[in-house]
Amino acid sequence: MKNYGYYAPDTEVTKMFVAYEQSPHYQYYYCGPKSGPTAILGLNKDYVLEGNLWQPIPDDVKVFTNLLDDMSSTVFRIGQTLRGYKLYSSEGILLGVWYAIFSATPVIYMQGENRIAVYGPPTDLYRRDERNLFLSPR
């Protein structure tokens, strides 16, 4: 497990995303559809993100804002809330931030000194939650 990182909920990260704030220390990515991303990742610029799951978000406030608005609308529709998290290496080094619904848990895997893979939620995450919303008794 030494190559696996961990995450922790963080209210300041949640506030940062709600306020559409981007840290200059992070490169931002989204996964899932652009019309309603399933997660947004801010990765420390000292690290290289491996894999092709994530799409880079240009350093453009309007694009970032639109992605967050679309994500919020989709999540609201299925009765969920978005939360912010900090991502850490197994040694406790802050790697970045994560914004998603509670059930969208990241898997953080260090592939080398400065290379990281972050496995995000399935692309049908919202459809699963939407089905559960209508199937579960209230």
Q: What is the pLDDT of residues 42-86, one digit of tens each?
A: 999 999 999 888 999 999 999 999 999 999 999 998 889 999 999
**pTM as predicted:** 0.88
136 sits in which H/E element = none
Distance CA 42, CA 67 (A): 13
Could you give the angle at the alpha carbon of 106 between the alpha carbons of 104 and 107, nearest 5°? 145
What are the residue ranges of helices labelled H in 1-124?
11-18, 61-77
Q: Is 2 left (phi over 0), alpha (psi -120 to 50) or beta?
A: alpha
User: In the prediction, which pLDDT does 50 show?
Assistant: 94
Helix, strand or coil for residue 114? Answer: coil
User: In the prediction, which pLDDT does 120 show?
Assistant: 84
